[in-house]
Structure 1
Amino acid sequence: MTKLPSSIFNEVIGPVMTGPSSSHTAAPSRIGNLAGQLAGDTLSRVTVTFESKGSFATTYRGQKSDQGLAAGFMGMKPQDPRLSNALVLIKEAGIDLKFEIKQFEANHPNVVLMDIVDTSGEQVTAKALSTGGGRIEFNEINECPVYMAGDYYELVIMLSEKPSRSLEQLCSKVQGALTRADVKLHGSSVSDNGKQGAAWRGVIVIHAREKLQQELLDEVQELCGNASIRNVAPVMPVMASSDCAVPFSSAETLLEWCAGQGDIPLWKAAVRYEAARGKLTESEVIEMMADITDVMETAITTGLTGDFSMRGFLTPTAAKLQKALDNGQFIATGMLDLATVMAVAVMELNSSMGCVVAAPTAGSCGVLPAAVFSALESFSIPQEERREAAAKAMLCAGLIGVFISEQSTFATEVCGCQAECGSAATMAAAALVDMAGGSVQDACNAAALAMQNSLGLTCDPVAEQVEVPCIGRNVGAVSNAVSSANLAMHGFRGNLPLDDVICAMWEVGNALPDTLRCTGKGGLCATPSGMRIKEEVDKLRFAS
């Protein structure tokens, strides 16, 4: 199946989620949700296996992957507040959930193997990936290769006996029935596990943008005999479409497109892109983003209260920082004073497993809200205009994020923190330029400079908590964004084109040792104090 262009809402700005990690909390909840839908009856037991050298093996407890998966198996979405208690809830539901760490062949650091048994005794196995920023991929069902990204209604047909006709013929027959029922199809795939006899398994996956009615599923069942039929619902906010055509996919092609559009602002280009990608109206795009910025603003407000417990080893400090700022005790840095407080507030809320927006990841979720909402104050945007202004700024950031998604990654497990805080700074720089009235070219230059300043940034969260150095790096990323925006708008041209710098980030990230890519094995994690803190956190965790 051909990979579709990145969506601002699916791949960049979002998900709205319970902290602390988009790769390790939100994505597992989405993986668990899809996997749970493959069961034919109520879940009875699930065994989850992580690869011993991957990122999940060392971080799944600290970054709440176990809780995310448990929540997903019970049908919860990433933003469900019950996620923080999911391990208790799944036990109360009578589902036997186990986690194992084993050696197996894995081509990505975030691989999840699942062995699922429902109350009728039916067993399904699946392999999935968390690919960064809450994105997921299913690569195998019952050892058969598949591709599912959670952005279609998937008709999944699982066979345990070879059909009398070929899989391709059976798929064609099913597609014919769907087409006669006026269901528009968006592609399909067939595969088997390559085995013979009783060990043979086959899978057909058919993609659509609508839920199939039970009568139609019954007809499909008749065509497929004893096969197990599932209509799996999407978990992503924007549906895919096989016939979408976006106007550009890189900074270079954006600038070429804008040259033919007159004096178009970056936010407008972002709206046009996402409307084409998701088959949405332009007003729907703006309103969707406005809803997301509402969550961001609430996260700032909640984070400033400090009325919560962080799940690692720090205690909330944003309220104290705000008091110091109000009393004139900060070293004055303009809008960065307020942005500093806001970034800390959101990240502390994230650590408490509060509701935040991964933008582009939960580990960098303080950067964009801090940059945009402090800029709204600095630019004295009237209150009645702020919601739309915030949405437009975040769309600008999202479009720059699309170029990162297309040419690199947001996965710190692949490219280190330069892919998280570095990407967030890059996106924020462009948003600030647009808010200040700068050109699309200025925005791309600012983004390139911010990414330049972030190359080589490692991921080494102490005790596997998204606290140290993550909170401080969010504050530093906002400063990087503001400085880069000012330089780009006022004559500084010391940067390479944005696409080149994004590709350099990919190369640098892949050159980093795995000890510096969210495994807890290097950098600050390996210092004497870092190891001591981990020991203390582990004692508390296992005691509870």
Structure 2
Amino acid sequence: MKKLPSSIFNDVIGPVMVGPSSSHTAGPARIGYLAGQLCGGRLSCVKVMFETNGSFAMTYKGQKSDQGLAAGLLGMLPQDPRLSDALSLIKAKGIELVVEVKDFEADHPNTVLLELMDENGGTVSVSGLSIGGGCIELNEINECPVSLAGDYYELVILQSGSSASSMKSVCDDVESLLREANVVAHGNSISENGKADDTWRGVIVIHTRQQVPQNLLDTIKLRFSDASVRNITPVMPVLASADCEVPFTRAAAMLDWCAEHDAPLWKAAALYEAARGGVSVSEVLEMMERIIRVMEEAVAIGLAGDFTMKGFLSPSASKLRDAVMNGKFIPTGMLDMATVMSVAVMELNAAMGCVVAAPTAGSCGVLPAAVFSMLDQLEVPQDSRVETAAKAMLVAGLIGVFINEQATFAAEVCGCQAECGSAASMAAAAMVEMAGGSTEAACNAAALAMQNSLGLICDPVAEQVEVPCIGRNVAAVSNAVTAANIAMYGFRGTLPLDEVICAMWEVGNALPDTLCCTGKGGLCTTPSGIRLKEEVDKRMFGSKP
């Protein structure tokens, strides 16, 4: 299946989620949600396997990957507040959840294997990848290669012990039934596990943008009673489309497009996302405005600090705000409150509160802090704040598209430069937009902020998103502000944004896995880092995991 261009809402700004990690919490929740729908009846047992040397194996307890999977298996999406109690809830449902760390071949550090059994003894196996920022892919079902990203309604037909030659005929017949019911198929895939004995398995996947009606589903099940038919609902906010065409996927092409069409950068972003999702510009703005309101609430709750963080820190944002209000901060202008807001959101994230990954949960404090503090600095009228913020956030999202197309947001692959570095790059462009700077200046600011972040490692102490993650969010906001200022008023970074993104990808792939969210290096292995992990493990799990 052809890879679709990145979506601002699927890949960059979002998901709306319960913390602490988009790749380790939200991603597993989405994997579990899709995988659970492949069972033929009520779940009775799930075996979860993480690869020994992967990031999941090292961090799954501290970053709540097991809770995310449990939540998804129970039909919860990443924003469901019950996620934080999912392990207790799945046990109360009588579903046995077994987690193992074992050796197996994995091409991605965030790979999970699931073996699911339903109450009737039916089984299905799934391989899932959490590829960064909450994006996921199911890449195997019953050892058959597939590619399910959660952005279609999927009609999945599982076959066993049958003839591989019949699969194409089955697929054609099902698509004919769909056409008769005016359900448009947006492509299909047919695969098998390559075995010739009674362990032969085959999988047909048919993609649609609409739910297959129950009466049609019943007809298909009756027609192909020797197969198992599953109707899978999506987890992503923007659906895919076989005929998707976007105007650009690189910053250089976007600059040419804006010059040709005399369009502001926010409009280019809105038109891009409208084309990507098959929706109108007004719908794109409405979606972003809803996200802005979630971010506003996260700031407010984070500033109140009426929660308990899951690691070793206590909420501090309210004290920091008081210090600013009482004139005790070393004055830095808008950065005073931007600092406080970024801490507030990240502290809420660490407490498993509701935040917006932007582009990840590990960097979720950067964009709201930069954009909302600038709204205050510019004294934007109350009735224009959400719209102004939404346009700025669309600009940030478009910069994120260019990053995701040419690199990654996954710290497990490229370190924190892919998270806080990307967030700083996106925030810098957003602030140039808010300040009335040019499209070229926005791209230069984004490039400068990313230049300043190259080589930044991911080393969360005790597997928590507290140290150094909160401080790095603060630093990313400062990086974004200074990059925006110098890009607008005379300084040129010379290197174009696309080239800097590619450099980030190259640097990230050169980092050892010890510095990519595995807990094996950096601050994690300092004497204090080791001591904090032992203390957290003892408090949370009774002993070392």
SS of 2:217's equivalent in the other structure is: helix
Structure 1: how far apart are the matches of 2:113 and 2:127?
5
Structure 2: how far apart are the matches of 1:174 and 1:305?
54
Query: Which residue of 1 is the match for residue 21 of structure 2?
Result: 21
Deviation at 1:164, TM superposition (A): 8.1
Structure 1: how far apart are the matches of 2:144 and 2:155?
15
Query: Which residue of 2 is the match for residue 183 of structure 1?
Result: 183
Q: How does 1:13-92 map to 2 (within 5 A)?
A: 13-92=13-92
CA deviations 1:402-452 (Å, max 9, x no partner) are 000100000000000000000000000000000000111110000000000
Deviation at 1:141, TM superposition (A): 0.3
SS of 1:2's equivalent in the other structure is: coil
For 1:210, give the aligned amino acid.
Q
Is the Cα contact below 8 Å between 2:298 and 2:345 reproduced in 1? yes
Moved runs in structure 1, 4+ residues, more than 6 A?
A: none
For 2:413, give the aligned amino acid.
V
Q: How does 1:147-158 map to 2 (within 5 A)?
A: 147-158=147-158
Structure 2: how far apart are the matches of 1:198 and 1:378?
69
CA deviations 1:226-275 (Å, max 9, x no partner) are 1000010000001111101001101011011111111x211111100000
Query: Which residue of 2 is the match for residue 312 of structure 1?
Result: 311
- Number of equivalences: 543
Query: Which residue of 2 is the match for residue 166 of structure 1?
Result: 166
Structure 2 vs 1, CA of residues 215 and 485 (structure 1 numbering), >3 Å: closer, same or farther?
same
Is the Cα contact below 8 Å between 1:449 and 1:495 reproduced in 2? no
Structure 2: how far apart are the matches of 1:474 and 1:495?
26
Deviation at 1:217, TM superposition (A): 1.2
Query: Which residue of 1 is the match for residue 378 of structure 2?
Result: 379
Query: Which residue of 1 is the match for residue 253 of structure 2?
Result: 253
Q: How does 1:99-110 map to 2 (within 5 A)?
A: 99-110=99-110
Structure 1: how far apart are the matches of 2:67 and 2:537?
16
Is 1:350 the equivalent of 2:349? yes
| Percent of matched pairs sharing the same residue | 69
Deviation at 1:167, TM superposition (A): 1.4
For 2:160, give the aligned amino acid.
S
Query: Which residue of 2 is the match for residue 388 of structure 1?
Result: 387
TM-score normalised according to structure 2 size? 0.99
Query: Which residue of 2 is the match for residue 284 of structure 1?
Result: 283
Deviation at 1:534, TM superposition (A): 0.5
Is the Cα contact below 8 Å between 1:448 and 1:495 reproduced in 2? no
SS of 1:467's equivalent in the other structure is: coil
For 2:133, give the aligned amino acid.
G
SS of 1:231's equivalent in the other structure is: strand
SS of 1:199's equivalent in the other structure is: coil
Q: How does 1:290-301 map to 2 (within 5 A)?
A: 290-301=289-300
Q: How does 1:474-489 map to 2 (within 5 A)?
A: 474-489=473-488
Query: Which residue of 1 is the match for residue 429 of structure 2?
Result: 430
For 1:393, give the aligned amino acid.
A
Deviation at 1:163, TM superposition (A): 4.1
Q: For structure 1, which runs of at least 5 residues remain unmatched after alignment?
A: none
SS of 2:76's equivalent in the other structure is: coil
Higher mean alpha-carbon deviation, 238-247 vs 159-168, is at 159-168
For 2:489, give the aligned amino acid.
H
CA deviations 1:369-388 (Å, max 9, x no partner) are 00000000001100110010
Is the Cα contact below 8 Å between 2:12 and 2:397 reproduced in 1? yes
Structure 2: how far apart are the matches of 1:398 and 1:494?
21
Structure 2: how far apart are the matches of 1:5 and 1:464?
32
Structure 1: how far apart are the matches of 2:166 and 2:457?
50
SS of 2:261's equivalent in the other structure is: coil
Is 1:452 the equivalent of 2:451? yes
Structure 2: how far apart are the matches of 1:48 and 1:241?
32
Is the Cα contact below 8 Å between 2:12 and 2:133 reproduced in 1? yes
Deviation at 1:542, TM superposition (A): 1.3
Structure 1: how far apart are the matches of 2:399 and 2:120?
48
SS of 1:190's equivalent in the other structure is: strand
Q: How does 1:220-259 map to 2 (within 5 A)?
A: 220-259=220-259
Structure 1: how far apart are the matches of 2:456 and 2:207?
39
Is the Cα contact below 8 Å between 2:164 and 2:202 reproduced in 1? no
Deviation at 1:168, TM superposition (A): 1.6
Is the Cα contact below 8 Å between 1:174 and 1:223 reproduced in 2? no
Q: For structure 2, which runs of at least 5 residues remain unmatched after alignment?
A: none
For 2:121, give the aligned amino acid.
G
Structure 2: how far apart are the matches of 1:164 and 1:508?
44
For 1:299, give the aligned amino acid.
A
For 2:265, give the aligned amino acid.
L
Is the Cα contact below 8 Å between 1:410 and 1:420 reproduced in 2? yes
SS of 2:237's equivalent in the other structure is: coil
Structure 1: how far apart are the matches of 2:403 and 2:223?
44
Structure 1: how far apart are the matches of 2:45 and 2:541?
23
Structure 2: how far apart are the matches of 1:94 and 1:494?
58
Is 1:415 the equivalent of 2:414? yes
Deviation at 1:165, TM superposition (A): 4.7
SS of 2:5's equivalent in the other structure is: coil
Deviation at 1:218, TM superposition (A): 2.1
Structure 2: how far apart are the matches of 1:128 and 1:224?
27
Is 1:94 the equivalent of 2:99? no
Is the Cα contact below 8 Å between 2:43 and 2:95 reproduced in 1? yes
Is the Cα contact below 8 Å between 2:164 and 2:192 reproduced in 1? no
SS of 1:454's equivalent in the other structure is: coil
Structure 2: how far apart are the matches of 1:542 and 1:218?
46
Is the Cα contact below 8 Å between 2:447 and 2:493 reproduced in 1? no
Is the Cα contact below 8 Å between 1:44 and 1:96 reproduced in 2? yes
Deviation at 1:485, TM superposition (A): 0.3
Deviation at 1:113, TM superposition (A): 0.1
SS of 2:138's equivalent in the other structure is: strand
For 2:381, give the aligned amino acid.
P
For 1:222, give the aligned amino acid.
L
Structure 1: how far apart are the matches of 2:494 and 2:524?
33
TM-score normalised according to structure 1 size? 0.99
